[in-house]
Amino acid sequence: MKKQVFFRADGSAQTGLGHLVRCLALAQMLQDDFDIEFVCMEIPDIIKQDIITKDFSVREIASENDFINSLPTDAIVIIDHYGLNVDFHKAIIAKDCKVICIDDLHEKEFHAHVIINHAPGISEDDYKALPDTKFALGPDYALLRPAFLEAAKTSEKKNKIKTVLICFGGSDYLNLTQKITAFVAGLRNDYQVFVITGAAYAFTEELSAYCAAYPEITHFSAIPEKQMLDLMKKSDLAIVPSSGIVFEALAAGCKVMSSWYVDNQREIFDGFRDLQAIIPLESFEDISEELFLNIENIETRQVIDGLSGKRLLQLISEL
């Protein structure tokens, strides 16, 4: 029988969907070799159905004790959750299970067998962990869905900017999508514009009405992976935050303009800026017409090779 892997992650309109999305990406990397179940307290129905469609099971729990008490021995538990601390790790280890933590803050102590952080510029010294902890750090371990990993192997450099993609992830509670869409529309540079919002976005009707007034702008809502990749591959420039979406845009070959607006995006932004992989904005308020007019003259580097799935599968299989 295959070894069991449990993903403990949550997502909502308030907390965002990034934890669930990157766990689903990792689950697909492991799918052929492990028996996988998602365990959640909060999960939007549309994400739940996406997980089930990809042949994974989903179990909703009322408390962490429900999960701990039901754990079999010798399983692997992959945690992507800011609210679960070292006591939770110890409880899992006490059940003779392995702990893997997906983390992008390194603010707390970890009792984990493996720590994954795909942000560039992070080192093992940034973590307070056990001496024998293994690390999977940087874009070589990018948590990307299979189609994006494949795209990264063949993506070509973009030069002319004719098509612009705008996406701020699954929830975008600040509605930065609307602000950036209005800015690009105001340039009147005849760009074709793809605006993509997620399952937890709360301003869909307002945005759709705005986009309908501009024939060059098309709004897409809660689209599947293949369509997202297709739109990115058609786009020359992607304007995205430094969250999981920036990895997807880079893998698809877009020239990427990015900034950050929540704490767990800051190090990803700093790292990709230092690698010269993105066109950095100190904030999305700093976007300017002058910068847009000069975008084609700004060189960026491709730093995602599409092989992270093989690396992570090998590392986790060795447990």
**Cα distance between residue 241 and residue 221, in whole Å:** 17
> In the predicted model, what is the mean pLDDT of residues 252-268?
95
Query: Is 248 flagged in the annotation as binding?
Result: yes
> In the predicted model, what is the mean pLDDT of residues 245-261?
97
Query: Is 205 flagged in the annotation as binding?
Result: no
The answer on pLDDT for 13 being more than 80 is no
Residue 43: its pLDDT value, please? 96
- What pTM was computed for the model? 0.93
Confidence of residue 144 (pLDDT cuts 50, 70, 90): very high
The answer to whether 219 is a known catalytic residue is no
Alpha carbons within 13 angstroms on the beta-carbon side of residue 222 total 14
Determine what percent of the chain is predicted with pLDDT higher than 90: 90
Confidence of residue 268 (pLDDT cuts 50, 70, 90): very high
The answer on pLDDT for 91 being more than 90 is yes
Nearest to 270 by CA among 148, 110, 69, 120: 120
**Cα distance between residue 82 and residue 311, in whole Å:** 25
Our CA dihedral for 135, 137, 140, 146, rounded to 10 degrees, sits at 80
Range(s) within the chain of domains with CATH label 3.40.50.2000: 147-297
What CATH number was assigned to the domain covering residues 3-143+307-317?
3.40.50.11190
Range(s) within the chain of domains with CATH label 3.40.50.11190: 3-143+307-317
What CATH number was assigned to the domain covering residues 147-297?
3.40.50.2000
Residue 193: its pLDDT value, please? 98
